Amino acid sequence: MSSPQPSADESAIAELRREYRFGTLSASDVQDDPLLQFRHWFAEAERARVLDYSAMALATSLAGVPSARIVLLKGLDEDGFRWFTDGRSEKGLALADNPQAELLFHWRELDRQVRVRGVVTRLSEKESDAYFYSRPLDSQLAAATSEQSQPVESREVLEQRYRALTDSYPEQAPRPQAWGGYCLKPVQYEFWQGREGRLHDRLQYRLTDSRWIIERLQP
């Protein structure tokens, strides 16, 4: 029996490409502090109206098995990058076992991406409460309804649970004990700027003896 021939769309995947022409990246152009450099690029992504510019891929590892998913950045300062999720989720369990993780921001419209690697810690109950109760009621109810990443019999079961909580908590839903905030403290950043011909610019910041060392990486 002969092997099936790839469809036109499948065979075209290898030919997909475009040139990156937005800009360049030089060590003379960046801040000495990677947090300041990140803030600068983040602000440019906002001004460029990049869709979901606060979205970041969170990569974790549990028992040597990597996993990644998109979460939303909800805070940023000298202590690190913050987001919120259910600790019973796959990412929550992975971080409890191995707190080392990496974040990836991809801003296609600017031909840019930023990787941020570090160690993750849980935020306090006070911080988790403050953010949870700043959310719209429907978001509170959704978090209270779901045991994130756990199997469920059907969509109807979730919706019934959601309606029951809506009836019980018409103004404010209870924050699940497992739901809360996380903070990644960076030890390494990489700023990537796409360039024509795939000779991309990559600048890495490494924290060494409490100092940030900047070096150019080959593309």
The conformation of residue 205, written as its DSSP 8-state character, comes to: E
Give dist(CA 19, CA 194) in Å, integer.
8
Catalytic residue among 69, 198, 206, 211: 198
At 92, list the tokens: 């929550």
What is the largest distance, in Å, between two alpha-carbon atoms of the chain? 64
User: Which residue from 73, 74, 71 is spatially nearest to 60, judged by alpha carbons?
Assistant: 71
Residue 195 a catalytic site member: no
Q: Is 79 helix (H, G, I), strand (E, B) or coil?
A: coil
Residue 66, judged by CB atoms within 10 A of its CB (0-12, 13-18, 19+), counts as exposed
Catalytically active residues are 198
